[in-house]
């Protein structure tokens, strides 16, 4: 069964998690196979020749392809090309970034303990963590080595982020700026150390910091009437902490990241909706109607000053470990209205609440609304005098929340996630109906 599907630009990418059992050795393998479906066989052949064939030689001797007669192929009746991971025609750097032999050399050059000759790297285990997007990938490395005495060193965990547009290179400068401007101002939350960026691999190496995303599980427990976790922060405390971290970013004065304005967001959505309307006319027309509504509303409101923003500020990027919090993923940082981050966070929170709902008791909308108001209030308090105007902020947060929901609807359609589309639309209709009046 396909583990993931993505439709974009006239082709569909499917990823299959296979289970293969060697009949002689009884060994079980679980390779990931990437497939791309085209409209005709000619496009398949061109993609195989130009994108995949040059990568096969780079995989010589790699165990990932040992069980296959060929690591790339065309399935003609389906107009489909297939390749065994890590052969990815859209992100070829994954091949080098998953090669343990090459990584031993990379780690020896880049990891502080190794550079100080405390550890000699001997090998590493590579784990795929996040591969939901076509042009980005997150890997987890468990590094093993020995100390000068010859004793085995405790294994170290490092995360690697790959992006084909070079945005992973931002991680080092962003973390350094945050440590200076945010941590230095007394606002404490965990940030991973950056171990550097390798342009040849399009790879940024980052320290593993303690914690996991805990807001979604806590929200699900609340909605289903389950008792909260015995340890760690309460759901409300985590929401407050997320708001405080957002305020710390927005008032940091950091100037890294490209400008990201509302007009650009709306233009990108219009372009994506054209694709939807071509394949699903009724749904595309509805998306355009919602986009036109929020476009007109936004035109009548006043934009906020641009500031340093995370760019993908959702509950999955904030991790918690007992009573401490941490922030991860810095390849989307930008200069944007603070409402971009706040609206994104609230959009994902509301959809998560609807997904986790349970009949009886308080509704998902009730609890999500209470948490949303708490988040905004905590942000206002944390931002203090650095915030422009509360009423304007609330209006622009409503705008960006709907823009985020429209983006979620588009991404869900591209990934063929029907149930998620239903949840997003339900929240979208409610939020559009509740837009605050423009009275300032």
Q: Spell out the residues 6+ positions from residue 258 whose beta carbon is closer than 8 angstroms to its own.
A: 334, 335
- Evaluate whether 413 touches 365 at the Cβ level (below 8 Å): no
> Residue 440: inside a domain, yes or no?
no
Q: What tokens appear for 393 in the block?
A: 């902020």
Integer Cα distance of 374 and 345 in angstroms: 13
Q: Spell out the residues 6+ positions from residue 193 whose beta carbon is closer than 8 angstroms to its own.
A: 175, 206, 207
Integer Cα distance of 352 and 420 in angstroms: 10
User: Is residue 193 domain-shared with residue 267, that is, in the same domain?
Assistant: no
User: Is residue 167 domain-shared with residue 246, that is, in the same domain?
Assistant: no
User: Is residue 303 domain-shared with residue 382, that is, in the same domain?
Assistant: yes
Please report the pLDDT score of residue 1 as a whole number: 44
User: Is residue 62 domain-shared with residue 37, that is, in the same domain?
Assistant: yes
Select from 129, 123, 371, 331 the least CA-distant residue to 239: 371
Integer Cα distance of 314 and 411 in angstroms: 15
Q: Is 267 helix (H, G, I), strand (E, B) or coil?
A: helix
User: Is residue 180 domain-shared with residue 203, that is, in the same domain?
Assistant: yes
Distances (CA, A) of 27 to 67, 338, 392: 11, 52, 61
User: Is residue 38 domain-shared with residue 114, that is, in the same domain?
Assistant: no
Which runs of E-coded beta strand occur in 147-247? 156-163, 194-198, 203-207
Integer Cα distance of 14 and 132 in angstroms: 11
Chain center to CA of 154:
30
User: Is residue 157 domain-shared with residue 281, that is, in the same domain?
Assistant: no
> Residue 311: inside a domain, yes or no?
yes
Please report the pLDDT score of residue 185 as a whole number: 60
- Evaluate whether 15 touches 415 at the Cβ level (below 8 Å): no
Integer Cα distance of 202 and 225 in angstroms: 45
Select from 146, 147, 124, 128 the least CA-distant residue to 138: 128
Q: What tokens appear for 259 in the block?
A: 């400008």
User: Is residue 26 domain-shared with residue 119, that is, in the same domain?
Assistant: no
Q: Is 26 helix (H, G, I), strand (E, B) or coil?
A: coil
User: Is residue 221 domain-shared with residue 307, that is, in the same domain?
Assistant: yes
The total number of structural domains in the chain stands at 3
- Evaluate whether 5 touches 416 at the Cβ level (below 8 Å): yes
User: Is residue 200 domain-shared with residue 305, that is, in the same domain?
Assistant: no
Q: Could you list the pLDDT tens digit for every one of the 440 residues in the chain?
A: 456 788 877 789 999 999 988 777 778 889 999 999 999 999 999 999 999 999 999 999 999 999 899 999 999 999 999 999 999 999 999 999 999 999 999 999 999 887 787 889 999 999 999 998 778 999 999 999 999 998 998 899 999 999 999 899 999 999 999 999 986 566 779 999 999 999 999 999 999 999 999 999 999 988 888 887 767 789 999 999 999 999 999 999 999 999 999 999 999 999 999 999 999 999 999 999 999 999 999 999 999 999 999 999 999 999 999 889 999 999 899 999 999 999 999 999 999 999 887 544 557 778 899 999 999 999 999 999 888 799 999 999 999 999 999 999 999 999 989 999 999 999 999 999 999 888 75
> Residue 182: inside a domain, yes or no?
yes
Q: Is 185 helix (H, G, I), strand (E, B) or coil?
A: helix
Select from 163, 68, 60, 52 the least CA-distant residue to 102: 60
The boundaries of the domain holding residue 426 are 215-433
Integer Cα distance of 81 and 15 in angstroms: 12
Could you read off the pLDDT of 358-367 as tens digits, one per residue? 544 557 778 8
**pTM greater than 0.95 (yes/no):** no
Integer Cα distance of 222 and 228 in angstroms: 7
- Which of 87, 115, 138 marks a domain boundary? 87
> Residue 197: inside a domain, yes or no?
yes
- Evaluate whether 125 touches 94 at the Cβ level (below 8 Å): no
Please report the pLDDT score of residue 3 as a whole number: 60
Chain center to CA of 138:
9
- Which of 207, 227, 244 marks a domain boundary? 207
> Residue 439: inside a domain, yes or no?
no
Q: How many CA atoms lie within 13 A of 200 on its CB side?
A: 4
> Residue 185: inside a domain, yes or no?
yes
178 CB neighbour count, 10 Å cutoff: 23
- Evaluate whether 46 touches 36 at the Cβ level (below 8 Å): no
Residue identified by tokens 């040849």 is 200
Select from 317, 93, 55 the least CA-distant residue to 197: 93
- Evaluate whether 375 touches 245 at the Cβ level (below 8 Å): no
User: Is residue 259 domain-shared with residue 385, that is, in the same domain?
Assistant: yes
Q: Spell out the residues 6+ positions from residue 35 whose beta carbon is closer than 8 angstroms to its own.
A: 13, 14, 15, 16, 75, 80, 81, 82, 83
> Residue 6: inside a domain, yes or no?
yes
Can the peptide bond before residue 109 be classed as cis, meaning omega within 30 degrees of 0?
no
Q: What tokens appear for 266 in the block?
A: 């709306």
User: Which CATH number is 400's domain given?
Assistant: 3.90.1200.10
User: Is residue 349 domain-shared with residue 235, that is, in the same domain?
Assistant: yes
> Residue 142: inside a domain, yes or no?
yes
Kindly write down the DSSP assignment for every residue of 140-162, as one continuous string. Answer: EEEEEEE-TTSPBPPPEEEEEEE
Q: What tokens appear for 439 in the block?
A: 């009275």
Q: What tokens appear for 99 in the block?
A: 């090669």
Integer Cα distance of 37 and 10 in angstroms: 9
Q: What tokens appear for 13 in the block?
A: 């990418």
- Which of 191, 207, 223 marks a domain boundary? 207
């Amino acid at each position: 069964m396909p583990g993931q599907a993505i439709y974009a630009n006239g082709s569909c990418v499917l990823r299959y998690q296979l289970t293969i059992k060697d009949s002689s050795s009884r060994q079980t393998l679980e390779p990931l196979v990437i497939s791309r479906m085209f409209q005709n066989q000619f496009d398949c052949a061109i993609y195989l020749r130009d994108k995949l064939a040059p990568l096969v030689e780079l995989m010589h001797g790699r165990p990932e392809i040992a069980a296959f007669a060929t690591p790339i192929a065309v399935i003609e009746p389906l107009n489909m090309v297939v390749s065994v991971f890590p052969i990815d025609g859209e992100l070829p750097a994954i091949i080098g970034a998953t090669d343990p032999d090459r990584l031993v050399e990379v780690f020896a050059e880049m990891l502080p303990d190794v550079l100080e000759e405390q550890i000699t790297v001997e090998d590493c285990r590579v784990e795929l963590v996040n591969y939901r997007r076509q042009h980005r990938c997150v890997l987890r490395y468990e590094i093993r080595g020995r100390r000068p005495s010859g004793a085995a060193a405790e294994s170290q965990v490092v995360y690697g982020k790959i992006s084909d547009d070079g945005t992973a290179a931002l991680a080092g400068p962003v973390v350094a700026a945050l440590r200076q401007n945010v941590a230095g101002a007394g606002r404490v939350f965990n940030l991973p150390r950056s171990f550097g960026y390798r342009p040849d691999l399009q790879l940024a190496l980052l320290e593993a910091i303690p914690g996991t995303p805990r807001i979604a599980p806590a929200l699900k427990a609340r909605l289903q009437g389950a008792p909260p976790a015995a340890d760690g922060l309460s759901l409300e405390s985590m929401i407050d902490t997320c708001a405080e971290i957002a305020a710390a970013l927005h008032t940091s004065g950091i100037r890294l990241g490209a400008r990201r304005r509302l007009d650009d967001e709306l233009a990108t959505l219009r372009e994506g909706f054209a694709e939807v309307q071509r394949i699903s006319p009724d749904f595309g027309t509805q998306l355009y109607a919602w986009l036109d509504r929020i476009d007109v509303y936004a035109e009548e409101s006043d934009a906020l000053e641009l500031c340093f923003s995370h760019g993908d500020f959702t509950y999955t990027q904030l991790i918690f470990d007992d009573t401490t919090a941490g922030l991860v993923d810095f390849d989307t940082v930008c200069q944007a209205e603070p409402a971009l981050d706040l609206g994104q966070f609230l959009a994902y929170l509301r959809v998560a609440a609807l997904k986790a709902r349970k009949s009886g008791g308080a509704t998902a909308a009730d609890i999500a609304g209470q948490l949303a108001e708490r988040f905004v209030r905590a942000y206002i308090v944390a931002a203090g005098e650095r915030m422009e105007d509360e009423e304007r902020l609330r209006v622009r947060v409503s705008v960006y929340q709907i823009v985020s929901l429209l983006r979620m609807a588009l991404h869900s359609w591209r990934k063929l996630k029907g149930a998620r589309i239903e949840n997003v639309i339900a929240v979208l209709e409610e939020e559009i109906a509740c837009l605050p009046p423009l009275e300032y």
